[in-house]
Structure 1
Amino acid sequence: MPYLQTNDSTQLYYRDWGTGTPVLFISAWAFSGAMWEYQMLNLNEHGLRCIAFDRRGHGRSDDPGRGYEIDRLADDLAEMIEQLDLRDLTLVGNSLGCGEVVHYLARHGTSRIARVVLMSGVTPGMIRSAENPQGFPKEASEFAIARMQQDRPLYMTDGAIKYFGLGSTWPGPPLLSSEMVQWAVRLILECSPKATIECFRASAQINFLPDLPACTVPTLVLHGENDQVAPLDLSGRRTARGIPGSKLKTYPGGGHGMFLTHKDRINEDLLTFIQD
């Protein structure tokens, strides 16, 4: 099994397919690298080297019960890039993974990075504040954590409808099969409950706005117009405005889980951007 050991002795599992130009996928909150199955298969068939790792406490990686603050998560990403000696690299983040990407750039720079894709991101910030009046009240995140602590399987299963935009009145998202939804929920429940809750706090409460100017490489922001988890106006549009020269592409009917509901369009846009 391919594992990488961080400088705090945490073993991180990763998938590494192919030998072409590298693309590194950083997963959504509560998902392991397995979530990228359909993107990795497609891009690998087009000659790209596709890599995805399991965040600490996720998937097959160690569950150390610590290290879920954003600095450590960004440093884990840095260690992955450095130990695999990745260069001319495309970083593709999803949801919390977008926060890890921009924080990595702020802490470690862009010398190894060719381009960035931020998909369904929670950047630049989700919690309501004076500079973010559209954000969610802090009490909402604590209520969600309390529900997870009470019945995590129920919370995640109930959330799938909202996450994937199923049942939307918008004309966009194709309905996923029940088997696909069950697979996604199963991936989530395989993650450590400690990691799930601590990373939820990180994704909900951190202000990534100061990190956005560090994204000085070509950047594509992909966001669903019906994202109920990280609404377009709160997240995607503000992220694009905070990164000079970035391109925002919105998906009519797209919810938060576009990596599955809109996988064909996502794959096409990723390939076009990477090969441009």
Structure 2
Amino acid sequence: MTKITIKNKGEAVALNYVDYGQGQAVVLIHGWPLSHKSWEKQMDALVSAGFRVIAYDRRGFGDSSAPWDGYTYDDLAADLDTLINELGLEEVILVGFSMGGGEVVRYLTNHGEQKIAKIALVSSIIPLVKQKADNPAGVPEKVLNEILTALKTDRLKFLTDFHQGFYNYSKAKPTVSAEQLTYDFSIASHAAPQATIKAAQAWMDTDFRKECAGIQVPTLIIHGDADATVPFDTAAKQAHELIKGSQLIAYPEASHGLNVTHAEQLNKDLIAFFKG
């Protein structure tokens, strides 16, 4: 693992990343509240398929440093831009999972498409999580406020429950192993508390609908139609309608954490899109 130092608003932030393989660069951007380790089942497959795979920890998560502020999507997209520039990447493929889809779209908005070949949005929050009059399928604001309250009062209890919902897990239907839930909890619980809360506010409140309409690069959208964390209709379906020429693949009965539960199929679909 390696770190680069990013200067943002006068504060130095150390961004942790891994860099494996050779070939066209694929940058993997993890979801909330995990780290680059959530891409474990994708990295080997992508490297073996002939790609250079770079996965990093969002500021405040994993082994990156955790400033008190700087968790807006503008800040996070600036971190991604610095990573791309520091590594001298061109013709990059960006893959954003869940919250990471926001970095992808905001990067294109703020920093342009010149260095980007393609993008993939996996279980992404794009374009808008929150329920509004013109987004009736979104998550009610009351539910989002309850999440913030739970994070502030008993973050660890919330994370335990959250990861079960991440996989639509129950004792009657154990979609992943108990060890997978423990692993996710370990990663998420060690994220900085302020980063966990402020990053959540970013994915809850940011409306990317206008930005999606301006995307020109080839786009793949993959989402589970049983995603209980980020509903299919308000996310993938709407993103597909907004992003001209995008390809949408729905995984039947798949949960939010399809990078784990449907890893083999996801890897095949990503590689086919990257090489297509």
TM-score by length of 1: 0.95
Check conservation: 2:25, 2:89, Cα contact below 8 A: yes
1:192 aligns with 2:189: no
Separation in 1, partners of 2:87, 2:115? 11
SS of corresponding position for 2:179: helix
1:221-250 per-residue CA deviation (whole Å, 9 max, x = no partner) reads 000010011111111100111100000000
The correspondence of residues 187-266 of structure 1 with structure 2, limited to 5 A, is: 187-266=187-266
* Greater Cα shift, 117-126 or 155-164: 155-164
Deviation, structure 1 residue 168: 10
Check conservation: 2:138, 2:231, Cα contact below 8 A: no
Show the counterpart of 2:181.
181
Task: Pick from 111, 114, 119 the counterpart of residue 117 of structure 2.
Answer: 114
Separation in 2, partners of 1:134, 1:168? 28
SS of corresponding position for 2:233: coil
Deviation, structure 1 residue 70: 1.1
1:33 aligns with 2:36: yes
Opposite residue 48 of structure 1, the aligned amino acid is: F
Q: What RMSD over aligned residues (CA atoms) do the two structures have, in Å?
A: 1.5
Check conservation: 2:34, 2:61, Cα contact below 8 A: yes
TM-score by length of 2: 0.95
Show the counterpart of 1:151.
154
Opposite residue 57 of structure 2, the aligned amino acid is: D
The correspondence of residues 38-187 of structure 1 with structure 2, limited to 5 A, is: 38-167=41-170, 175-187=175-187
Show the counterpart of 1:22.
25
Deviation, structure 1 residue 166: 2.1
Separation in 2, partners of 1:33, 1:214? 28
Check conservation: 2:137, 2:231, Cα contact below 8 A: no
Separation in 2, partners of 1:33, 1:201? 20
Opposite residue 118 of structure 1, the aligned amino acid is: L
1:7 aligns with 2:10: no
Aligned residues: 273
Check conservation: 1:168, 1:253, Cα contact below 8 A: no
Separation in 2, partners of 1:133, 1:107? 28
Separation in 1, partners of 2:140, 2:164? 22
Check conservation: 2:29, 2:36, Cα contact below 8 A: yes
* Greater Cα shift, 158-167 or 86-95: 158-167
* Greater Cα shift, 107-116 or 146-155: 146-155
Deviation, structure 1 residue 199: 0.6
1:157-193 per-residue CA deviation (whole Å, 9 max, x = no partner) reads 1122211122499xxx982111112111211112111
Structure 1: give runs of 5+ residues left out of the alignment: none
Check conservation: 1:102, 1:214, Cα contact below 8 A: no
Identity score, percent = 35
Separation in 1, partners of 2:188, 2:250? 26
SS of corresponding position for 2:27: strand
Separation in 1, partners of 2:212, 2:29? 17
Separation in 2, partners of 1:263, 1:168? 22
1:13-34 per-residue CA deviation (whole Å, 9 max, x = no partner) reads 0000012111000110111111
* Greater Cα shift, 89-98 or 134-143: 134-143
Provide closer, same or farther for how the CA distance between residues 243 and 168 of structure 1 changes in structure 2, counting only shifts above 3 A. farther
SS of corresponding position for 2:237: helix
Opposite residue 158 of structure 1, the aligned amino acid is: D
